[in-house]
Amino acid sequence: MSEVFQYYDKAVRGTEREDRLVIIQFLQGMIGQQFSFLNYYKEIPVSYDATLLSVENEMAEFAVHEYQAKVVNMEKKTLIHSHAMSPFPEDMIGEAFYVSSAKKRVILCNFGYAHIRSDMRRFVRVLLDNPVEAELLFEGDVLVGSVKDLSLGGAAISAESADLLVPGLDVNMFLKLPDLYNDSIREVGMSATIVKVVGESAPFTCIIEFHAEKHSQQQIAYYINQRQVEIIKELKDINV
């Protein structure tokens, strides 16, 4: 499960307490209005409109989409895009006090300001439950790793050794993408650049940027689409 705090930067305008009171005061004048919530489930954005129903005791109750309620319940908080009628430009974040996906209700508290970072992503990213093998080809050597998450633009790959992983280095690589519909493996080749390596000890995480030809891009897009469908079905089947 990816956590919501990876996707925003905290922002403070006054003190945290002052910010909370200003946000509550703003929300008190917005009852009946719609706000755009944002959460993530396995790197897939879950974002639906939520209607503000009431504000009392520094808490705000919203009517939400069933899927949104499920992910708010998992992440215990939600991001809220800045409203067009808001006097401040920042986005907001609220902690979950009460969540019911059956009733499609969420009560939030401990509001604060935030800057949503994930909107800057150029590509849809998916988290992989089952490892996909990646081979990075170096002169006279091959490094085998496991893909942790994947987008059309690149991947995060887990590797046991970082000896060959030099940021800025261009490599050739192969992804062994399973076809979720017919139980086969597609080997997709492309050139890539090592962007950075994270970790002090094994397993290391290597961030790779793809330079894929059109055919390879189509195969990656096909797999990502399958994985998105799988994740959304999983979310639909969750009972909370």
Q: What percent of the chain shows pLDDT beyond 70?
A: 95
As given in the structure block, the two tokens for residue 229 are 């469908």
For residue 2, the model assigns a pLDDT of: 39
239 exposure class (CB count in 10 Å sphere: 0-12, 13-18, 19+): exposed
The pTM of the full predicted model, rounded to 2 decimals, is 0.78
DSSP-assigned states of every residue in 82-97: PPTT-SS-SEEEEEEE
Q: What percent of the chain shows pLDDT beyond 90?
A: 68
Q: How far apart are CA 110 and CA 118, in angstroms?
A: 22
User: H or E stretch including 240?
Assistant: none
pLDDT of 106 above 80: yes
pLDDT tens per residue across span 162-214 = 999 999 999 999 999 988 778 888 899 999 999 999 999 999 999 999 998 99
Report the Cα 41 to chain-centroid distance in Å. 6
Q: How far apart are CA 12 and CA 152, in angstroms?
A: 34
Q: DSSP label at 81? A: P
Mean pLDDT of 106-130: 84
Report the Cα 171 to chain-centroid distance in Å. 27
Q: Which domains does the chain have, with CATH numbers?
A: 4-120 (2.40.10), 125-236 (2.40.10.220)
- pLDDT bin (cut points 50, 70, 90) of residue 1 is very low
- pLDDT bin (cut points 50, 70, 90) of residue 125 is confident
pLDDT of 129 above 90: no
- The region that residue 180 occupies, defined by phi over 0 for left and psi between -120 and 50 for alpha, beta otherwise, is alpha
Say which range, 3-7, 152-156, 159-163, 201-205, has the weakest mean pLDDT. 3-7
Using CA atoms, how far residue 60 sits from 95, 116, 178, in Å, is: 10, 21, 44
